[in-house]
Amino acid sequence: MIPRIKSLEGNLGIRLFVGLFLFSVLNGAEPADTNYLEEKVPKYRLPKLLKSDLKEAETVREWYEKRRPELQTLLETHIYGKTPTRDLGPFQTRIVDIDPHALNGSATRKQISITIDDKLQLSIDLLVYLPNQAEEQAPCFMGLNFYGNQTVHADPKIRINPRWMAGKSKIGIKNNRATEATRGVYHERWQIERLIKRGYAVATAYCG
């Protein structure tokens, strides 16, 4: 049985709850002096560019040669991980599906298998949509997805990701595998048809 602190029961507990609620509301409210006009921004001075030893990077070259590598190391250590440095050899690509009439004829869908290392069985399944109305090479939005290519659009021809993934039953992940129920669950995040209509290509792959 978890002991209860009597002093937080009753009237005092309610007051604390209300106080915390009001604090969160006030803290999230927009400050009264918020400025949205650039011409009203007062004069300001940018902070100095400091290196890890807190000494100033006085030249552009010094920043690129000293501070930039420090920032890259921080990102590798604490956020993104280290980029592989060894030569993985030539990539092998294979188009496993192509449909020039996808999305009601507005796009060409390509599904490409990219093999990075046969021995390690490293491969990437890349999904690409190309706008059919583009007269030249289209600029492309590229991004990783977290639950398989089939989640970015309800297109029934998108191959369902067979790989292991984190459990999320509410979108249709069962036993750490994607099912038909996951098809198109994140289409609003990607807006593929809107991008195609505006002349952009879209490319995505599962991050795992």
The amino acid present at 96, given as its one-letter code, is: V
Strands 122-131 and 201-206: antiparallel
Q: What are phi and psi of 127, to 5 degrees?
A: -105, 130
189 token code pair: 């995040």
Q: In this predicted structure, what is the pLDDT of residue 9?
A: 45
**Which of 36-49 are b and which e, b meaning 16 or more Cβ less than 10 Å from the residue's Cβ?**
eeeeeeeeeeeeee
Contact 192, 129 (CB under 8 A): yes
Which amino acid is present at 133?
A: Q
- pLDDT at position 116, please? 80
Supply the pLDDT for residue 118.
63
- Give the total residue count for the chain: 208
Return the sign of the alpha-carbon dihedral for residues 98, 100, 102, 108.
positive
pLDDT at 20: 55
Which stretches of the chain score pLDDT less than 50? 1-10, 25
Do 173 and 182 form a contact (C-beta atoms < 8 A)? Answer: yes
Going by C-alpha positions, the residue among 205, 206, 195 that lies closest to residue 130 is: 195
The pLDDT value recorded for residue 3 is 39
